[in-house]
Amino acid sequence: MILPVLVLTMLGIGGLTRYFRTNMLEVVKQDFVRTARAKGLKEKVVIYKHALRNAMLPAITLFAFELPALFSGAIITEQIFNWPGIGAIYMQAFSVRDYPLLMGFTMFIALLTVISNLIADLLYGVADPRVRVR
């Protein structure tokens, strides 16, 4: 079970880490971070309170797409590692033309997409107070 879990997590974490690093380097060069340093704030406060919160917003958007992609990627990973799960059932449904199961799984992925977007919207409010609804 270690290899399938490792494949599914590394697939998503690699892209998110690279994207987050690029955003963090971009945010650290902006004026408000330079102003916070000029005010005499500690480097830890500047990075965590000012830069990190602004760099997290694009990463939250990408993270919202990772949850449905995790289940979609599980179909392929389960086939490769011959692991019984939802992916194997989904592939069997193709061969026997089990349309209710196919539509149900597609609705499940759609529901996961909506829920992950809702979670992303809530996390926007946590990361950036300007986004909160009053």
pLDDT digits (tens, 9 = 90+) for 16-54: 888 889 999 999 999 999 999 999 999 999 998 888 888
Residue 131: pLDDT over 80: no
pLDDT confidence bin for 99, thresholds 50/70/90: very high
Distances (CA, A) of 26 to 7, 32, 57, 111, 124: 29, 12, 13, 34, 19
Q: What is the DSSP string of 15-66?
A: HHHHHHHHHHHHHHTSHHHHHHHHTT--HHHIIIIIIHHHHHHHHHHHHHHH
**pLDDT > 90: percent of the chain:** 34
Read off the pTM.
Answer: 0.74
Domain borders along the chain are 2-131
Q: State the pLDDT at residue 38.
A: 93
Q: What is the pLDDT of residues 55-68, one digit of tens each?
A: 888 888 888 888 88
pLDDT confidence bin for 114, thresholds 50/70/90: very high
Q: State the pLDDT at residue 100.
A: 95
Residue 30 is given by DSSP the state S
